[in-house]
């Protein structure tokens, strides 16, 4: 199921060719009214395969959209979330190479159906922890409910009182365009589903939402991450049903059998099938097929163009997988956007740009009939220009939020050197506050404080989301012109300039995504044209395996580990162990996230350049070999003609030496 849709369609109908020993040179042209055999079943297979691609892409897209939600819900660092994301690809490590090799010779529809069942059950299992764990409890200051009684947060903390916990529980060308398009639509719906679920509270249906004191814009908000997995899993299980009703093979439509005007790509993909044919009445034997596995693998890796392109793609997908995995988190932390909005803009703006880029690359390849060298140049050019545009994102960041003791001093001066006691100052020294708590409040002076206690607040009025903290000594220390020393629940919003930067970021990100995606189809054609026709399915399987194992699994892990180094304030679990990060250094986060993506992209550009030079070298050598062979053929032909002329003269009965001279 992870190999190309073209291979799935081709191999599903390959055995419909005429059996060996029953060759016919008769060509039949059915009338438009005549219904071709197997056409209906082929359409069913195409529709079912498209639905499978949609379900799979939907689940993968939704997984990326829930990264920050899972991190907050289970209070874990980004490195561990990266392992969870990478584990999504581990199942492919065990079976994809063998499925791509043996699947071409076995009952392919049932193999796809079995894969859908396994994937659907696995997707449902991801949501199960929500139903076996206690409901979500977020850190917050919780005064007496529905009361305007003035109490002292500082006094409560000085008596070592704990906050009141949350009480609630929380046809060929048409066929191939069709499947790939649906596969691209899947992530769009995945991120949009993630945006919708992120707006719903994690324990919706189990708690009274009126008691929730945080909003989706709050950094501690966790959406209903589990709901999307139930939806995606159910869709995947539903997609498996049609494949159990399909036959092993389908009759090939005559128009495809007899057509001699198919495109170069179609001819290449549907080339020689003799290596795949099995004598009539005999079934393929597993051991006989297994004998060819290692020689086929050796043949693939012995192809320098295939090997270099495999390395270039793997490095580039390390860059892209890491970037896409943490893009919602980057938007949230860098530009102060909610998880719901981050997923929405990625699903509605970014992914369609990718789809348009892939489509444009295919149109260019078809319209200009680009050769394999031209495909390599287009692949290299799109990568180079894309990463050059990506470089401009370094200038489109926002400064750190003003957080007392972390990014700014309590007196309102910058910078501040963070250390273990930096959260404490003379203004809150009498309160005996906990440095591990993260219950942010926004002071009237525009500075965020880690808790009401650390802000030195003496009294509070109101309740829930409308709680107001008064007489905050630390707020008054760096008060604005109004002189107010009050604060309210939640972090302060970033300045207005950051919103403008976010718009610029979206524009550049969309253009960059489009540019990088233009090289997708040329790279795919390059992959297919550089290998033997009988190895295409196996080569695509090895390619997919390498990309998933060497890029899909490790890149989210080491991206997460490096991103964790930019954390300024860690949360702590009730057992005392370190939890998830509460506040990142925006500048460090930006340099790590963009820098690592850029570094891997540059490495892939160098490898793509090597692919182009290798192709050029092979082309020149083959061209010289062809010229040498042609010259030898011409010389031998001329000699043969001369010999034949001499022999003809000698065989003439009325020929004598000097006849031509005398005449």
Query: What confidence tens digit (pLDDT) does each residue in 535-578 have?
Result: 888 898 889 888 988 999 999 999 999 999 999 888 887 777 78
Average pLDDT over residues 228-244: 92
Q: Are 200 and 231 in contact (CB under 8 A)?
A: no
**Whether residue 18 has pLDDT greater than 90:** no
- Mean pLDDT lowest for which of 130-134, 236-240, 472-476, 636-640? 636-640
Q: What is the mean pLDDT of residues 294-319?
A: 93
Q: In whole angstroms, what is the distance from residue 187 CA to residue 206 CA?
A: 29
**Computed from CA positions of residues 335, 598, 326, 400, in that sequence, does the dihedral angle turn out positive or negative?**
negative
Identify whether the C-beta of residue 375 lies closer than 8 Å to the C-beta of residue 381: no
- Identify the weakest region by mean pLDDT among 260-269, 335-344, 483-492: 260-269
Q: Tell me which range, 53-62, 263-272, 410-419, is most confidently predicted by mean pLDDT.
A: 53-62
How is residue 646 written in tokens? 């001499």
Phi, psi (5° rounding) for residue 133?
A: -105, 160
Q: Is 372 exposed, middle or buried (0-12, 13-18, 19+ CB in 10 A)?
A: middle
- At residue 321, the pLDDT reads 94
23 C-beta neighbours (distance < 10 Å), count: 7
Which letter does DSSP use for residue 244 in this model? G
Whether 24 has a pLDDT exceeding 60, the answer reads no
Residues 132-159 have a mean pLDDT of 58
Tokens at 283, concatenated: 């079934």
Q: Is the pLDDT of residue 637 over 70?
A: no
Tell me the mean pLDDT in the region 57-80: 90
In whole angstroms, what is the distance from residue 459 CA to residue 12 CA?
73
- pLDDT tier, 309 (very low <50, low <70, confident <90, very high otherwise): very high
pLDDT of residue 100: 66
As a whole number of angstroms, the distance between CA 67 and CA 331 comes to 13
571-602 burial: b if 16+ Cβ within 10 Å, else e: bbeeeeeebbbbbbbbebbbebbbebbbebbe
Query: How many CB atoms neighbour CB 125 within 10 A?
Result: 11
CA distance 428 to 135: 33
How far is the C-alpha of 342 from the C-alpha of 569, rounded, in Å? 22
Calculate the CA 330 to chain-centre distance: 15
Strand partners, 459: 470
Most confident listed range (34-38, 96-100, 519-523): 519-523
Among the listed ranges 136-145, 519-528, 529-538, which one has the minimum average pLDDT value? 136-145
Between CA 386 and CA 168 the distance in angstroms is: 48
> What mean pLDDT is reported for the chain?
77
pLDDT mean over 416-427: 72
Most trustworthy range by pLDDT among 129-133, 296-300, 605-609, 634-638: 605-609
Query: Which pLDDT band holds residue 497 (cuts at 50, 70, 90)?
Result: confident
Burial category of 511 from C-beta neighbours within 10 Å (exposed 0-12, middle 13-18, buried 19 and up): middle
The secondary structure element, H or E, covering residue 499 is helix 496-518
Residue 223, pLDDT > 90, answer: yes
Q: How confident is the model at residue 278 (pLDDT cuts 50, 70, 90)?
A: very low
Cβ(631)–Cβ(639) under 8 Å? no
R_g over Cα of the chain: 33
| Residue 568: half-sphere exposure toward Cβ, Cα within 13 Å | 24
> Cα separation of 73 and 76, whole Å?
8
Percent of the chain with pLDDT over 70: 70
pLDDT of residue 252: 59
The count of residues in the chain is 663
Please report which confidence band the pLDDT of residue 4 belongs to, taking 50, 70 and 90 as the band edges.
Answer: very low
Pick the more confident residue, 232 or 43: 232
Q: Is the pLDDT of residue 635 over 80?
A: no
List residues bridging with 441 in a β-sheet.
449, 489
Q: What is the rounded distance in angstroms from the CA atom of residue 201 to the CA atom of residue 170? A: 7
Q: How confident is the model at residue 215 (pLDDT cuts 50, 70, 90)?
A: confident
Tokens matching residue 59: 């689940």
The total of other beta-carbon atoms located within 10 Å of residue 391's CB is 14
Rounded average pLDDT over 502-522: 94
Q: Exposed, middle or buried, 132 (CB in 10 Å: 0-12/13-18/19+)? A: exposed
pLDDT of residue 394: 94
Q: Is the pLDDT of residue 234 over 90?
A: yes
Give the pLDDT score at 343.
93
What mean pLDDT is predicted for residues 256-276? 40
Please tell me the least confidently modeled range out of 145-159, 210-224, 568-582: 145-159
Per-residue confidence (pLDDT) for residue 318, from 0 to 100: 96
Range with the largest mean pLDDT of 98-102, 209-213, 222-226, 633-637? 222-226
* Residue 634: pLDDT over 50: yes
Confidence tier at 639 by pLDDT (50, 70, 90): low
pLDDT at 35 over 90: no
């Amino acid at each position: 199921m992870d190999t190309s849709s073209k291979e799935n369609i081709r191999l599903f109908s390959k055995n419909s060719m005429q059996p060996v020993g029953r060759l016919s040179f008769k060509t039949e042209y059915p009338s438009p009214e005549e219904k071709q055999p197997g056409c209906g079943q082929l359409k069913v297979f195409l529709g079912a395969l498209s639905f499978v691609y949609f379900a799979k892409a939907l689940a993968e897209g939704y997984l990326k959209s829930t990264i920050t939600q899972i991190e907050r819900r289970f209070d874990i660092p980004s490195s561990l979330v990266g392992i969870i994301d990478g584990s999504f690809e581990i199942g492919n490590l065990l079976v994809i190479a063998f499925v791509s090799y043996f699947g071409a010779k076995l009952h392919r529809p049932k193999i796809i159906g079995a894969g859908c069942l396994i994937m659907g059950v696995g997707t449902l299992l991801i949501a199960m922890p929500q139903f076996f764990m206690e409901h979500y409890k977020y850190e917050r200051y919780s005064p007496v409910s529905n009361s305007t009684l003035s109490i002292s947060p500082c006094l409560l903390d000085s008596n070592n009182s704990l906050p009141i916990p949350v009480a609630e529980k929380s046809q060929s060308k048409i066929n191939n365009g069709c499947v790939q398009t649906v596969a691209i639509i899947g992530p769009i719906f995945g991120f949009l589903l993630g945006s919708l679920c992120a707006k719903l509270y994690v324990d919706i249906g189990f708690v009274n939402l009126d008691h929730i004191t945080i909003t989706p814009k709050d950094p501690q908000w966790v959406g209903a991450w589990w709901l999307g997995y139930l939806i995606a899993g159910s869709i995947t299980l539903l997609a498996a049903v049609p494949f159990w009703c399909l036959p092993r093979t389908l009759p090939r439509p005559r128009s495809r059998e007899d057509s001699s005007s198919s495109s170069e790509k179609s001819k290449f993909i549907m080339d020689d099938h003799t290596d795949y044919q099995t004598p009539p009445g005999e079934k393929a034997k597993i051991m006989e097929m297994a004998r060819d596995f290692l020689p086929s693998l050796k043949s693939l890796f012995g192809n320098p163009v295939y090997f270099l392109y495999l390395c270039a793609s793997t490095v580039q997908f390390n860059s892209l997988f890491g970037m896409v995995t943490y893009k919602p988190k980057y938007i949230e932390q860098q530009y102060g956007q909610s998880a719901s909005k981050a997923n929405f803009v990625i699903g509605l703006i970014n992914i369609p740009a990718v789809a348009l880029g892939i489509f444009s690359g295919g149109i260019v390849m078809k319209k200009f009939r680009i050769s394999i060298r031209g495909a390599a140049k287009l692949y290299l050019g799109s990568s180079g220009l894309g990463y050059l545009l990506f470089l401009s994102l370094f200038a489109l960041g926002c400064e750190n939020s003003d957080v007392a003791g972390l990014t700014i001093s309590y007196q309102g001066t910058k910078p501040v050197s963070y250390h273990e006691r930096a959260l404490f100052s003379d203004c809150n020294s009498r309160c005996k506050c906990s440095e591990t708590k993260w219950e942010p409040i926004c002071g009237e002076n525009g500075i965020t404080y880690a808790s009401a206690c650390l802000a030195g607040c003496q009294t509070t009025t109101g309740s829930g989301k409308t709680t107001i903290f008064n007489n905050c000594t630390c707020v008054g220390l760096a008060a604005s012109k109004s002189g107010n020393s009050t604060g309210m629940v939640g972090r302060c919003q970033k300045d207005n300039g950051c919103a403008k930067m976010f718009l610029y970021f979206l524009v550049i990100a969309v253009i960059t995504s489009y540019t990088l995606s233009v090289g997708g189809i040329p790279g795919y054609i390059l992959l297919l044209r550089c290998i033997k026709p009988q190895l295409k399915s196996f080569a695509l399987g090895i390619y997919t395996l390498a990309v998933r194992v060497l890029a899909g699994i490790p890149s989210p892990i080491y991206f997460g580990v490096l991103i964790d180094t930019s954390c300024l304030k860690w949360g702590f679990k009730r057992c005392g162990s370190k939890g998830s990060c509460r506040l990142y250094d925006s500048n460090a986060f930006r340099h790590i996230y963009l820098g690592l993506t850029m570094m891997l992209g540059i490495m892939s550009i160098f490898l793509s350049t090597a692919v182009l030079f290798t192709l050029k070298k092979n082309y020149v050598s083959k061209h010289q070999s062809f010229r040498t062979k042609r010259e030898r053929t011409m010389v031998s032909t001329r000699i043969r003609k001369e010999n034949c002329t001499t022999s003809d003269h000698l065989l003439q009965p009325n020929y004598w030496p000097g006849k031509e001279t005398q005449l």
